[in-house]
Chain A
């Protein structure tokens, strides 16, 4: 292995003038060695980058640091800077710059490669050859381009934005047209120091962890159990039995949740039956109904998520290697041995990502208590209730009450917790370490 410095020295010694000119005018190396099409593309990239920088890129990047300097003044007719938009466009500009730097590197590197090829007398790949290699050797590049761009704009950009918001004073009375400023770690300090937030955070966090573990375990084993039950040889009319969970699966979650809310409400059928048998109505989801509301939430969540896990598990069960079972039978393995030694390891291998997804999904299950109980605010909690998960609190804080920067800081903390837990689980799971086990 050569060190980077040696590589650079070698490059400077060997590279021809057109290749070096590629540093200034992208694509010139390609022109020199006959790859016109590619050269033209690189040249166009450089020109459009310069146009972008002049037209808005540079001012966007400056805006990212200042977050606006001109106060809006309706009397003087000054429009003023919108700090939030400036920040967003600033991040966008950074992404464009990084993409350009990457392409710039590629340009020099591939020009140098071309030079070497020509010197060794190898044929120069035409644009057509390059496009053809996209269908074969570099198929992954072609395929991943679109998803990566989409994810960058609609997932990465907003998330970066919110991470940065956690370090500003955006929120409360400071929203555009007021100017937002960078404040460093002040929001996190507030969370630790102010008694306003700390106790609520602790209480909600512990319930949230309990909830995630309980509901994930319940859903996962119920779902896999159901799939195995339906997969049994003695069950006739599998399609018929499977139709019931599927029916539940087909009904959109919010309808289920609202329906269950009606079912357990004071005027709902369950309370009507209690009353007609001489009892008094019970407020299952009422203000003081801490545990009954929590248990109803768990069961309703089970009702909603079990069918999807069951369907997935059925798909995986059908994808098992049947020859393994035959071999096991020949070797004299009984049904239980087959189940524990073949089915379960395979299922755990195939569904670890699902299990983890379920855990994260349940940890951040917004809908369940939002619909079942609505946005209740309780004593002892700051803008939250005793069934609320962190995500509900986040919603209450940032969307209902404009605590944007505090909300962003809390979501960063949530993120740190969940990512730490699941990264450990995932990296240790067999489906990540030994991808080829069942291939």
Chain B
């Protein structure tokens, strides 16, 4: 009798595992196929989509990539790339800093303005994102920040704390008992934050950094509005200005700007999924 049950159970497990893997394969295919399509298109020899055989080009070469970096008279891709890198890095550092601080404060401190502030950010977040674009444009002209990459960084970083709720949710799930223990040991709030919660929040910091990096990296509305010189374009605006006949160049440019984020993620992936509070509180 007992044997039978374990037999049944293991058969069920096998079926379960099998179905899991089939779903995983399908998911992997769905996510990978369009990427593969784009990568192969960037390696096509002819450059036009019309000479493709179904999804894939007929012959391959690296010419498009060479053209992308050498033929800069019309489309200065290397310059766009550096601009994007500068803006994204700047707003990532500033934005992550501000967001984590805001989220932590909102999660751990009880003060009079807290609930009103939470409600206010909720309400502000509900306005359509580029409702204020006209006003932002006017503001930037007043500050003399049109056609400056710094202006973009400022706007992205200043807007970043508005999305603190996700991070607050994370801090909420870190047990408060740790804080209290530290407080009994005589730590100040500043020390509790830097020595205890910050290390524990590593996965969230990585997540925040990633999102505040990818947002400027792929945004097109704001750069389009604020950067009027072709040399100051970010990649998003630049790629949008490409002609439809330049599909291979578009694909090559896209593959190239997706690369840094992919590398970044694979370097940081461990931080994101490591278990956090396991073992931090005993009992």
Contacts and interface: CB of A to CB of B under 8 A. Distances in A.
Nearest to A391: B128
B262 A399 contact: no
Interface residues of A, number: 102
Interface residues of B, number: 101
A248 B55 CA distance: 18
Nearest to B14: A234
Residue from the set A84, A88, A143, A252 with the largest chain B CB neighbour count within 10 Å? A252
Given A232-B20, A319-B276, A411-B128, A157 B265 contact: no
Contact of B49 (A262, A276, A308): A262
Given A418-B126, A439-B175, A259 B31 contact: no
A353 B136 contact: no
Interface stretch (A31-39, A46-54, A145-153): A145-153
B52 to A, nearest CB: 6
Interface in B95-152: 98-99, 101-102, 104-105, 109, 111, 117, 121-136, 138-139, 142
Contacts of A319: 170, 173-174, 203, 275-277
A419 interface: yes
B166 interface: yes
Contact of B27 (A245, A260, A273): A245
A401 interface: no
Contacts, number: 285
B190 A139 contact: yes
Given A154-B159, A395-B130, A439-B175, A229 B23 contact: yes
Given A244-B27, A250-B261, A259 B17 contact: no
Contacts of B139: 88, 153-154, 157-158
Interface in A128-162: 135-137, 139-140, 143-144, 146-147, 150-151, 153-159, 161-162
Contact of A394 (B99, B128, B155): B128
B169 A321 contact: no
B15 to A, nearest CB: 11
B159 to A, nearest CB: 6
Interface string B150-175: 00001101110111011011101111
A296 to B, nearest CB: 13
A216 interface: no
B161 A229 contact: no
Interface of A: 84-85, 88-89, 135-137, 139-140, 143-144, 146-147, 150-151, 153-159, 161-162, 165, 226, 229-230, 232, 234-235, 238-239, 241-256, 258-260, 262-263, 267-269, 272-273, 276, 303, 307-308, 311-312, 314-316, 318-319, 321-322, 350-354, 357, 360, 364, 366, 390-391, 394-395, 398-399, 404, 408, 411, 414-415, 418-419, 422-423, 426, 431, 435-436, 438-439
6 contacts: A135-B188, A155-B132, A259-B38, A262-B247, A354-B165, A415-B131
Closest 3 CB pairs of A and B: A158-B132, A252-B218, A150-B158
